[in-house]
Structure 1
């Protein structure tokens, strides 16, 4: 009996030791497609000794704030222009680890079928956060709806518009709120993750959309003190695996594109 008890105790200790050996990694993400992609790699990371915990957020501010404050280890939801603007505005020093995918940014309308149908004085909803606003305006410029003071400035705002032939009226909102006003505006510029969350298909439903050469890659982001940690690097490798590439191509059918 003593031998059986000793064996059981040793086995339990060994199992506990293995469990403790796994490093916990807490990563913030928006629901679609970021959290879905993270869920895909979670089992593989567990095999490699990393227990991935995914925290889903509906905004673009807290995921960065909480990583900067070391309440979270990393996040996966943003482009480098947005991160650069955030770091500059908030005095943070977050860094990109690896680029994973591109979400071609689109403009949607339930009132009009073509850009030519947009009336004079049409109301256009755009994101109000840093590079997302600039990205929306650059897309409108590319499609001939306006001209910006600096045609390449990723941080342009409506104040930087120098030509507005249709006298567009801009409604600036948090990105997460944009799908909710689709019925209330003439044109709605929505980030693809929120468009997908609202059951919109960017490939089929967008009136205008960025091309496949969009420079707005979505990155895994961390801090200088942990960007090269074993757990973060394992996650970076997993996010750019052939399995993830195949998953993105199949599941999102062009609405999300692998960047590797």
Structure 2
């Protein structure tokens, strides 16, 4: 066989190797976020650290809490940053997804906002309070309302699975109206108050300081970077983790001139400063 006839056979494996090498060398990451501050967190605090290692980072914003996990599962994005442990566990179980936490990040808390009252004790019978309607955040809202003395929930119900029918006491006679989370800030003017997730509150121009009450977040309600379980040990996931663990990332949240200074740090971050 002549060299010309051998040439195609030689090029096939070489081309295949070249394509694989190009994919590795590209080091491109697409991170999904919901509206609000987490896209800015990626762009301003995570992306610069990944750039030092040669990564190109793209932020893709989704309008709800459903698509970021579905897009991650179907390989449309490489990671997402928008959800807490309770939400991830429930959504993954409901949809049969295999997704894993990389690391927890500083998180802005859910708050009770109102244009009509200044304190929770001013609420009265018939006042309408809107809540996010997705099961995880609805349960979280009910837990919030119970924590601050506005309702009581059936103690036999797992707090992460509570719904409106599990309210056993509503002493003020409040009317609860679930809405899509993104709609809550827009509906605030027509109701007495609303429990709004921080990312949607901030994206609508509300300040965390505007809330009548901000929640104190347990660790499983702080947001996480999440990847497909099969990718959890891959270099890009470990580099994401290292970026968040960097001194530069933490310093970003210690600045007093941004909204991020009000975010609640995860336990791993506060623990490294304890004596």
User: Could you tell me the TM-score, scaled by structure 1's length?
Assistant: 0.87
Q: Show the counterpart of 2:262.
A: 255
Q: Hey, what's the Cα distance between the residues in 2 that align with 1:215 and 1:89?
A: 18
Q: Show the counterpart of 2:249.
A: 244
Q: Hey, what's the Cα distance between the residues in 1 that align with 2:150 and 2:219?
A: 19
| 1:213–1:79 distance in 2 versus 1, CA, 3 Å | closer
Q: Which runs of 5+ in 2 are unaligned?
A: 1-20, 270-275
The answer to whether the aligner puts 1:200 opposite 2:206 as a matched pair is: yes
Q: Show the counterpart of 2:272.
A: none
Residue 138 of structure 1, aligned match among 143, 165, 168: 143
How far has the Cα of 1:44 moved from its partner? 2.8
| 1:199–1:220 distance in 2 versus 1, CA, 3 Å | same
Q: Hey, what's the Cα distance between the residues in 1 that align with 2:164 and 2:118?
A: 24
Q: Show the counterpart of 2:187.
A: 181
Q: Secondary structure at the match of 2:137?
A: helix
Once the two structures are superposed, the pairs formed by residues 38-57 of structure 1 within 5 Å of their partners are: 38-40=42-44, 41-57=46-62
Question: Cα deviation per residue 1:81-132 (whole Å; 9 max; x = unaligned)?
Answer: 0111101211112111111122221100001111121120211100111221
Q: Hey, what's the Cα distance between the residues in 1 that align with 2:87 and 2:145?
A: 18
The answer to whether the aligner puts 1:103 opposite 2:104 as a matched pair is: no
Moved more, 30-39 or 183-192: 30-39
How far has the Cα of 1:22 moved from its partner? 3.0
How far has the Cα of 1:248 moved from its partner? 2.4
Instruction: Tell me which protein shows more strand as a share of its residues.
Output: 1
How far has the Cα of 1:246 moved from its partner? 2.1
Residue 38 of structure 2, aligned match among 27, 34, 39: 34
Residue 235 of structure 1, aligned match among 218, 222, 240: 240
How far has the Cα of 1:201 moved from its partner? 1.6
How far has the Cα of 1:20 moved from its partner? 7.3
Once the two structures are superposed, the pairs formed by residues 62-77 of structure 1 within 5 Å of their partners are: 62-77=67-82
Instruction: Tell me which protein shows more helix as a share of its residues.
Output: 2
Residue 125 of structure 1, aligned match among 112, 130, 152: 130
Q: Show the counterpart of 2:216.
A: 211
Moved more, 146-155 or 27-36: 146-155
Question: Cα deviation per residue 1:196-223 (whole Å; 9 max; x = unaligned)?
Answer: 1122122x21112212656411000011
Question: Cα deviation per residue 1:157-178 (whole Å; 9 max; x = unaligned)?
Answer: 1111000111211111111111
| 1:223–1:103 distance in 2 versus 1, CA, 3 Å | same
Determine if contact 2:30/2:59 at 8 Å carries over to the other structure: yes
Question: Cα deviation per residue 1:136-161 (whole Å; 9 max; x = unaligned)?
Answer: 11111111100001376122111110
The answer to whether the aligner puts 1:23 opposite 2:13 as a matched pair is: no
Q: Show the counterpart of 1:165.
A: 171
RMSD over aligned Cα atoms:
2.0
Q: Hey, what's the Cα distance between the residues in 2 that align with 1:213 and 1:69?
A: 30
> How many residue pairs get matched?
243
Q: Which runs of 5+ in 1 are unaligned?
A: 1-16
